[in-house]
Amino acid sequence: MSTSVPPQSRAILERLVSFDTTSRNSNLPLIEYVESYLARHGVRSRRVGSADERKTNLFATIGPDAPGGLILSGHTDCVPVDDQDWSSDPFVLTEREGRLFGRGSADMKGFLACVLAVVPELVANPRAKPIHIAFSYDEEVGCTGVLELVDDLNARGFQADMCLVGEPTGMELVIGHKSGRAYRCLVTGLEAHSSLAPRAVNAIEIAARLIAGISEIAREFARGIRDDDFDLPHATINTGLIEGGTGINIVPHHCSFTFEYRLLAGQDPDEVFNRVKAMADALLPLMRAIHPGADIVFEQIYDYPGHFIASDTPAVQRMIALSGSNRLAKVAYGTEAGHLQNGLGVPTVICGPGDIAVAHKPDEFVTLDQLRRCEDLLKRLCGAG
């Protein structure tokens, strides 16, 4: 294809980016667009939705109703643009020097657009095994939406030979990522006028002591076991949000913070949590000596498994042959691959257009060249068969 001709996926990506599918919002308008697009090409699809019906997964099949075949998997949600300084409207796809800017363009509506762009060709080619399209929701808040789809497919006795998750890898092959878990910690103290601070329990100060302990765990991780196949070779733990206090002259009685950690294979997520919980348990007697009602409570937000697929599996070897690259990477960020491979028993490889380094940032972009490469790979991967 000439580089002067826009890839087929460009126009579709423009539509996908226009839908604000930040995880706090419904993804139904985008799903309705995709359903309509697929229906125009004679592709059957069905929804597997959330309990409140505000969001849904979409599952579509091209070809025979038969076991085996390939799943093309991606998530429809994106992260917020709040307080980010964009050079252009994040929900209007903007082209500059071969780059397409917009929220989700890399992570991962670029891949969704490529999948939809090749649908007409996939429909036109007869095949013995099906191609399945799986578009999920709430990946960005812990890979939770896809679990409903996994349960639904298992209940139907679903089988497939391979799954491709199109997260932004720069079109490199990724065979592994870390596991992830996140918690919200709620600290309840006792408020008072700040002039009487010793008679109160300062929830922010208690939270700060816990956060300092979490930072020490992070330093231990950096000195600990390594897997140099990863882009960041050790486990990580990080405090991402904190909220507390009502006034400068009031000892705060509430504080909440969230932390998440990403572990290598063999590291126990329960053990990490138990360390943080032990810190909290050590602080409670000090707090309750002043106020018996003081407390520290943890709420788990998400928990997704790590992912690994051996390089000698047929799925990986197939991708190596099609991509022409023997380079296999592992990444620190999480994906739905662990749920799909572990939950469905389907060998899963990660590869898609875009660069994770620009994802979640202002002026997120995907290049036209990456879209072309992805379309070409999908056509070859899904060729008549």
243 pLDDT more than 60: yes
Could you give the number of structural domains in the chain? Answer: 2
1 pLDDT more than 70: no
Lowest mean pLDDT among 258-262, 280-284, 322-326: 322-326
> Mean of the pLDDT values across residues 26-55?
94
Q: Are residues 143 and 53 in the same domain?
A: yes
- The CATH number assigned to the domain holding 271 equals 3.30.70.360
Confidence bin at 22 (pLDDT 50/70/90): very high
Of 268, 303, 338, which closes a domain?
303
Q: Are residues 269 and 361 in the same domain?
A: no
> Mean of the pLDDT values across residues 272-285?
98
Q: Residue 1 domain-assigned? A: no
38 pLDDT more than 80: yes
Res 383: pLDDT: 81
Q: Are residues 236 and 346 in the same domain?
A: no
Q: Are residues 316 and 340 in the same domain?
A: yes
What does pLDDT average to over the chain?
95
Res 385: pLDDT: 41
Confidence bin at 74 (pLDDT 50/70/90): very high
200 pLDDT more than 50: yes
- Which range marks the domain in which residue 260 is found? 179-303
Residue whose structure tokens are 């997704």: 304
Confidence bin at 3 (pLDDT 50/70/90): low
Q: Are residues 95 and 137 in the same domain?
A: yes
Q: Are residues 34 and 169 in the same domain?
A: yes
Q: Residue 3 domain-assigned? A: no
Q: Are residues 322 and 211 in the same domain?
A: no
13 pLDDT more than 90: yes
Q: Are residues 313 and 166 in the same domain?
A: yes
From 312, 313, 349, select the one nearest 331 (Cα to Cα). Answer: 349
Catalytic residues: 77, 139
Please, what's the b/e burial string for 112-134 (b: 16 or more CB within 10 A of its CB; e: otherwise)? bbbbbbbbebbbeeebeebbbbb
Q: Are residues 153 and 57 in the same domain?
A: yes
Q: Are residues 15 and 140 in the same domain?
A: yes
53 pLDDT more than 90: no
What does the angle CA 149 – CA 81 – CA 19 come to, to the nearest 5 degrees?
A: 50
Q: Are residues 249 and 317 in the same domain?
A: no
Burial class (CB in 10 A: 0-12, 13-18, 19+), 371: buried
Q: For the segment 84-126, what is each residue's pLDDT rounded down to a tens digit? A: 999 999 999 999 999 999 999 999 999 999 999 999 999 998 8
Confidence bin at 384 (pLDDT 50/70/90): very low
Res 4: pLDDT: 56
Q: For the segment 327-381, what is each residue's pLDDT rounded down to a tens digit? A: 899 998 899 999 999 999 999 999 999 999 999 999 999 999 999 999 999 999 9
Q: Are residues 258 and 324 in the same domain?
A: no
Q: For the segment 286-319, what is each residue's pLDDT rounded down to a tens digit? A: 999 999 999 999 999 999 999 999 999 999 999 9
Q: Distance between CA atoms of 340 and 248, rounded to whole angstroms?
A: 48
